[in-house]
A and B are shown apart, each in its own frame.
Chain A
């Protein structure tokens, strides 16, 4: 039995911030229903490459697939009020948890805000995940994680001191909010079990992101220091950076934060004369001569493969690693052993690497077990068998374009 087998979740959600919360719970056995409509499919199906073979198609998106394995895909056109609203409420009454990440105010306009939904499901748990939160002067400002990562300070900390900020790939901060959103739901489920009380949870992706920066926020408030980007440098380690290796655009990383580590690094490098120079004898002197240090280490690494550097140094007790590229991570020996990826067949994509959670429960191992749903794939199964609509009513709703 999987951990969350007894939990039923419905998603009025699209893109990453809502659906990936559901994905993590689905990986552990929750029944998760992803609601879309033909007039408004999930934006990841319509606007975000990659599509298999670069051919656009609603069921060809790698990103949608990654975020929605093991879910039931149904359609419901919420614009068809009041029938669609009634049906949505019926679905909520069936569920334990609602996940929504519309712009704040949207669920209320649809008549599906927490107050309304509580009437049909008094102990409902609902997660509302938004950019800036459900309240406050900026609440209604919709946005994407790739830009919110800048407002929340992350990109300002990325790049060279004299250059522009650099991007963090994709909607970085959304996936921070995902972890917090899932944690919040799990805590609320536990609380409900003990007290019978539901919960409406308001996560601002912005506020979840700032949790990761607490020390430098404190540093500004207390010491007036404004944290700045400083490439790969670190105040507590030298060397500390990425170094070129043999092969095309191949890199390793090395970090040394103690005297024994420095001695071990020198030993592995064969104790070259430069390494005995006073300029590099202490952490402080290495920091003071870091450009020169980096060049010298780069001259040693560039004749070796990144894996070689990593293995030699790790054996000697020095922290080092390879810079894995996107073409490497499916075959990384460690991730492969875990195994981090599950290859599943998809009717339009073919074989696809679905992602397991970064935590493995040893007694109740997680999925993925099933590929992501095609648009509306589970309409009949969900509406007739799980929700128990009479066949006639279902057919009527399909004909009227409510289930569409």
Chain B
């Protein structure tokens, strides 16, 4: 562990979330906050989610857990026992933030809802993260990633027009929700630091995904035009309804290249034609094209198709790496479709010290993690500690910090409270 110099080092967070809210606590932890992950005795069921370290399914080897619960200490506590609730109340008294993702009503049922929390500590910011929010007709609905992606509208925009709507294969909605929840918690924190008054922050996963598809709905709002899934093509850039190819097969995979307008687009189109010309692959009509008069907003499908045909032929002959190097050198827009392997090979990350080696002594090795989400001139943002083992900090938190006697601690363990 490194001495913590994060911006939020003086604040404590109690984290009661499942995967829907993991990232919220991690983000506050990245900024230095003391985040205590509270698991049920025996450990969080999410620890059964893979992938696993060396493919060995084991609650202490879940890479899903490692990735999203680092920067947290870990304790176990049974909130459904009265003794457990009493201990939780004592933890609340010393906390600045509480984050939870139970179904609405669960905490109230156990007398730990916002009203109870604020009676114990009116300064606390309680952030509740659920699929659909704390109230409303769907608030008790169950949802995993795919239901959230569907209900937000996101899936309607991904997939081929003649096949089912698609989600992203690796769950996205949990991370969107966790990161926007952190924003909400910190806005409430700002108010609390001004006024001394905490509050309840109600986060909806369905609503958190709305920004993921930007402005697609405004086409409906303004012009009753329905944006729909279009496979590998981009729509909505031209008022004629023309669609532009986004993904182009190349020698060893796919490239993301789009015929854009605007200043950057014109520069890119010009640079591409020059590059094609160095290999004798730029047709005359492209070389003669007056790019400064090219307007993407009223381009027709016919014109786009004519331009894309020779470009497609050109891209088939180059590799992803070649494309990446040339777009950087020629200051063109476009990137290869990278896999996780290529992300590790990108020299930009090494130059920025993005990757962090974190020790896992019980596994006998260190693991490479994506590091802090931002660089600050004052205060660091980074991984300070690996994810906790089950109950790893029970003694530290309960005995050393909360002052529970060793005898009582043992009794609580035997009673299944801890």
Contacts and interface: CB of A to CB of B under 8 A. Distances in A.
B36 interface: no
Contacts of A362: 114, 199-202
Nearest to B6: A187
Interface residues of B, number: 157
A62 B222 contact: yes
A158 B296 CA distance: 26
Contacts of B66: 214-215, 218
Interface in B371-390: 371-379, 381
Interface string A37-53: 00000010011111111
Interface stretch (B46-54, B84-92, B275-283, B408-416): B46-54
B261 interface: yes
Contacts of A368: none
Contact of A49 (B141, B179, B219, B331): B219
A28 interface: yes
Interface string A175-214: 1101111111011111101110111111110111011111
Given A136-B352, A323-B155, A221 B210 contact: no
B165 A242 contact: yes
A219 B373 contact: no
B168 A157 contact: yes
Nearest to A142: B264
Interface string B141-160: 11111111111111111111
B333 A143 contact: yes
A107 interface: no
A200 B327 CA distance: 29
Given A165-B254, A179-B180, A186-B183, A335 B333 contact: no
Contact of B169 (A48, A142, A230): A230
B135 interface: yes
Nearest to A66: B215
B97 interface: no
Given A253-B146, A352-B221, A221 B344 contact: yes
B368 interface: yes
A186 to B, nearest CB: 4
A153 B226 contact: no
B258 A62 contact: no
B153 A328 contact: yes
Contacts of B328: 138, 141
B337 A324 contact: no
Contacts of B210: 329, 340, 355, 358
Contacts of A198: 378
Of B170, B180, B208, chain A has the most CB atoms within 10 Å of the CB of B170
Nearest to A167: B246
A167 B168 CA distance: 10
A199 B378 CA distance: 6
A350 B186 CA distance: 34
Interface in B311-365: 327-328, 331, 333-341, 343-344, 346-349, 351-352, 354
A325 B226 contact: yes
Interface string B179-221: 1111110111111011001011111111110111111111111
A4 B373 contact: no
Nearest to B114: A362
B285 interface: no
A182 B182 CA distance: 9
Nearest to A173: B212
A357 interface: yes
Contacts of A233: 169
B7 A188 contact: yes
Interface in A211-243: 211-223, 225-237, 240-243
B398 interface: no
A56 B238 CA distance: 11
A217 B165 CA distance: 26
A101 B247 CA distance: 26
Given A137-B348, A232-B164, A20 B211 contact: yes
A135 interface: yes
A62 B343 CA distance: 34
Contacts of B335: 143, 147-148, 150-151
B223 interface: yes
B246 A364 contact: no
A326 B367 contact: no
Nearest to B350: A136
Contacts of A52: 222-223
B94 interface: no
Interface string A129-172: 00011111111111110111111111111110001111111111
B106 interface: no
B7 A190 contact: yes
Given A171-B214, A340-B210, A358 B144 contact: no
Contacts of B334: 143, 147
Interface in B242-272: 246-247, 249, 254, 256-258, 260-262, 264
A326 B337 contact: no
A182 B370 CA distance: 20
A170 B370 contact: no
B67 interface: yes
Contacts of A320: 147
Interface string A1-39: 001101100000000100010001100100000000000
B190 A180 contact: no
B31 interface: yes
A215 B147 contact: no
Given A51-B239, A164-B249, A334-B137, A4 B374 contact: no
B231 interface: yes
A357 to B, nearest CB: 7
B221 A168 contact: no
B55 interface: yes
A131 to B, nearest CB: 9
B69 to A, nearest CB: 10
Of A151, A235, A349, A353, chain B has the most CB atoms within 10 Å of the CB of A151
Contacts of A150: 256, 335-338
Contact of A183 (B179, B354, B371, B377): B179
Contact of B136 (A54, A151, A159, A333): A333
13 contacts: A62-B219, A150-B256, A184-B374, A187-B7, A207-B372, A213-B370, A215-B170, A221-B344, A227-B170, A233-B169, A323-B156, A338-B133, A357-B183
Given A142-B333, A253-B146, 13 more contacts: A49-B239, A56-B297, A133-B375, A166-B159, A212-B176, A217-B340, A217-B370, A221-B367, A244-B164, A325-B153, A325-B226, A327-B226, A362-B201
The 3 closest A-B pairs by CB, nearest first: A170-B214, A359-B184, A214-B67
